[in-house]
Structure 1
């Protein structure tokens, strides 16, 4: 019986992998990887059979029960099985379902942490999620619900935190803005969308809660986070200043 490693691939770029993750990839027999794992990361496992089992919002995705069965079957045939997940396996990665399935089959599991997208985005912004006197609490939330699940009060949790990070939310920007305002957050609260955090094609779109739908309309196809809080006030102010300057230059040129 082999062993399965649930490995965090980090926010994207290959050199943000942990040393343990890189070493496991180098000796893996098979790698089951998310859709968003970069090719450079997969290249660290040249000898492994690679199986894409990714999930993308609004697209055809691999059923979780099928992934669970694949992991169990692979561990019965191979010594080292890596389940490679974007970010950190233990945050919105459905790791607990895979741990339960593997443990129930008598298969040993080890979790290898990774850098979550929230931390990759914060590093890209050069802005801490917390700041003395401004933010003493952070909430990691997702409005997403699985098939057959009941909606949950994510906006109430957002109201109680100084800084909010919303995963799997950028495609629902209008609903997110409406939900935050309905929960009591001011429409003028600073917000930032970060797409492809840590990657060469990273994009940063500062805005406000009210401006989230318009900003989300500028996003491409990459994974994006929504970050909300007064810690981003300076970023939003700087972006508004630059926009006004550009508008003035265009008006003068006309």
Structure 2
């Protein structure tokens, strides 16, 4: 069936880690021009307030451990709104292409004749590194960065692929791993990563209330459990992470070589 000529479009927009001033100018303009805004639960009110007064706002959930709208429902909702001629902004925390299901959503919408644009955003690992003073790559210590998730679709911890993250010159940024730190540390150490590898957990990266929890890889699960974070957490593991320091502090966790 042909697509109606007055069909709207969908913009898959990265809101960044949560602070409005870390959004790109293009993302800001997209939100300001939205006629329908489908947003994830972690997008803060200060960003939602940037949408125009007459914009339809729908929370889609997508928060670890909480009830959320099914992906199929989100896809159908975006399609229905676009077919009504609306400019739809699908607002996601971080970057849409980093565990944001942008590929699934784009494929679904384009298969139904809807134009899609992806607008990138600052991802949590980049925000954490900038805020707490450590690099993701560092000459002589970290030649590459691996963005990974600790979980699979049913919520279980991934069983395979840890060997690829065991290289000492790889900085590993793990998403959706807050409640799986012990399993993650065990799998990485079992795959050959040194137990004393510097590691941090950053809660609410990029926001004013961000918190740094630092330890060795072996000790990170206990440190994280003691800190009991409630917000979103990214784990970053690797030699370059030793340069991390609490916001405003002068001394890193461990001096870099």
- TM (norm. structure 1) is 0.89
Mean Cα displacement is larger for which, 76-85 or 150-159?
150-159
1:3 correspondence with 2:9: yes
Match of 2:48 in 1: 42
Match of 1:28 in 2: 34
1:12 correspondence with 2:21: no
Q: Deviations over 1:100-158 (max 9, x none)?
A: 11011100000011111111011011111011111111111112100399945231221
Alignment gaps of 5+ in structure 1: 242-254
SS, match of residue 191 in structure 1: strand
Higher helix proportion (structure 1 or 2): 1
**Distance of 1:116 and 1:37 partners within structure 2:** 13
Match of 2:71 in 1: 64
* Contact 1:142/1:154 (8 A) holds in 2: no
Among 94, 103, 119, the residue aligned to 1:87: 94
**Distance of 1:116 and 1:240 partners within structure 2:** 25
Mean Cα displacement is larger for which, 139-148 or 96-105?
139-148
Match of 2:213 in 1: 205
Offset of 1:239 from its aligned partner? 4.6
SS, match of residue 61 in structure 2: coil
Mean Cα displacement is larger for which, 230-239 or 129-138?
230-239
Offset of 1:219 from its aligned partner? 3.4
**RMSD in angstroms over aligned alpha carbons?**
2.0
Alignment gaps of 5+ in structure 2: 1-6, 246-250
Match of 2:248 in 1: none
Q: Deviations over 1:45-80 (max 9, x none)?
A: 032111111212222121111110011001011331
**Distance of 1:148 and 1:198 partners within structure 2:** 26
Match of 1:166 in 2: 174
Match of 2:3 in 1: none
**Distance of 2:57 and 2:170 partners within structure 1:** 41
1:223 correspondence with 2:232: yes
* Contact 2:202/2:213 (8 A) holds in 1: yes
**Distance of 2:117 and 2:96 partners within structure 1:** 11
* Contact 1:139/1:157 (8 A) holds in 2: no
Offset of 1:235 from its aligned partner? 3.8
SS, match of residue 13 in structure 2: strand
**Distance of 1:144 and 1:77 partners within structure 2:** 36
